[in-house]
Amino acid sequence: MTTVFASVGGESLTSVVYAAEKTLSEKEAIALAQKQLKNLGEYKLLSAEFVDGIEMLWGKSIWYTSWNKENGGSIGVQQDATSGEIWKYEYSGEERELDANQKKLTEDQAFQVATQFLKQVATEEERSRLSKPNEYPDSDIFYTRAKPGIDVNFTRIENGIPFLENGFRLIVGYDGEVIYFERRWTEGKLPDASKVIEITEAEKKWDEGAIPSFLYKDTASGSRKEPESYLPAYEFQREDPQFVDAITGKMLDSYGQISKERKIQPLGKNVPPNSTERKLISKDEAQKIAEKHLEKLPGTYRSNGKSFESGSGSQDKTWFFEFISQPGNGKKSDTVKIGIDDSGYLVQYNVNQKSRFREESKKIEKGITWEQAQESARKLVQTFYSDQLGEIYAVDYNPGEKRIKEILKNDEPYEIEFGYLINGIPEDDSIFQVDVDAETGEVVDLYNHLYNDGPSGDSSLPQKNADGIDLNTAKKVMKENKKFMLTYFHPKVSGSYGRVKMLEHPLLVYRYVGEKGLVKADGKWHSTKERKQ
């Protein structure tokens, strides 16, 4: 059975029980939302949509309703489609202006507002298992757009152990209203904490096996990327070994998989000449470049006359051109799309765009291996970017066996990633993706639109020198700014067709807990926590 918690009178909650297999009707969901969120009475319902669980991070089907009132902004609500629990609440609109004599909310006042809001959407039993407000840092599981206000984070505590990926996240606007709420609460049995290794043993394993990446990181606080804001630094990336499995003692990455040190090797030696001048090209020049790229591939292609442009005005432009393969011998031709930006750079290659995803999914009985897909992707990258292979590397990562089976079962492509190097050091946020058909081994998509967001190719950037710190010193600085703790851990993993989902079962891990940050090459700690002030 599943319990629905609805506010009745004052601040109290009563329970309404539904059969677990029953999905709430639209009418029932709306009624429960109005009971839990008292302010919805002031709003008019605009729409209600049922969203299947496969599309959601936690695999739960939800009802999404949107509400608005004249000159009063709008509200979006997500509810569990079975229990009616509020999973997400988001207010959109201008923050209420404060009078000259009114002061912005203090943090303590925001804590009080958030605590009162929780009484509407969480049970007393759930609230009894929460940390103090902001006792622990936000988890990466929680993601919100930047909003002005005060962040309030309540972490779930079980058996005295914090569960950083579980709890409640709120943002309280300076006018005293909750403008954002999100629930993260894992159901089911948790790992047995009586079987964990000792913390001293775990810390030793972390010292031996944790390996943060050394990379160029944009340390600017704003979204605008400038070369001078990029500095060499140590920071944990998704695939780096960074957690100690509290039961087995194995090192895990952020996906919860057993991890080891990754290799960073360029695909070749060629490096284009460094140039700060950006020469813009015309559409006709872009088409000639696209045709030159196709000449590198086996077979012949002809233009079908179709093209379109993205970007306008001051934005970077990209032109996309379509070509038809000429296979002969009665074989079926392919439609190939090439994207060239206004700097003459190939940013996309696509074969028979999306047609395979419109077809009914079929299980691949005999597919290629991940290693074969990597080789196929590597060959295409080497073909198209032959003059830049000294600054491109293949991301050293293998998905787990379960994920491979899921890919074959759902007829998904293998997603192979590559990144850019500056002075031999990986550049953060420069990853591009090559999709390989898991049955045929053919590359079906290359997507590389982010290559010019950072300072790729700028050899004037600061480098790691004789005075730079080594890996062990960087780890020492990290330890000085965080606390080693036993925690529950529920990682996000890659799911079907690029959707992110939660791992089936949470884990128990030892990890360093504290404010997000990195270690610069000069040995100084740099906080990367985003403040919504």
Q: What is the DSSP letter of 258?
A: B
Q: Are 255 and 165 in contact (CB under 8 A)?
A: no
Q: With 50 as the cut, is the pLDDT of residue 3 above it? A: no
What pLDDT is recorded for position 6?
Answer: 30
Question: Distance between CA 463 and CA 423 in Å, rounded?
Answer: 7
pLDDT (tens digit per residue) in 240-299: 999 999 999 999 999 898 988 888 899 999 888 776 667 889 999 999 999 999 999 998
The b/e string for 411-434 (b: 16+ C-beta within 10 A; e otherwise) is: bbbbbbbbbbbbeebbbbebbbbb
Q: With 50 as the cut, is the pLDDT of residue 122 above it? A: yes
Q: Are 379 and 442 in contact (CB under 8 A)?
A: no
pTM: 0.81
Largest CA distance in the chain: 82
What are residue 418's DSSP bridge partners? 394, 432
Q: Are 301 and 363 in contact (CB under 8 A)?
A: no
Give the containing element (helix H, strand E) for 111. Answer: helix 107-121
pLDDT (tens digit per residue) in 492-520: 877 666 667 777 789 999 999 998 889 99
- Angle, CA 426 vertex, CA 229 and CA 417 arms, to 5°: 120
Residue with tokens 């090559």: 434
Cα atoms in the 13 Å half-sphere on the side-chain side of 352: 14
Q: With 80 as the cut, is the pLDDT of residue 463 above it? A: no
Q: Are 126 and 467 in contact (CB under 8 A)?
A: no
What pLDDT is recorded for position 362?
Answer: 76
What pLDDT is recorded for position 363?
Answer: 84
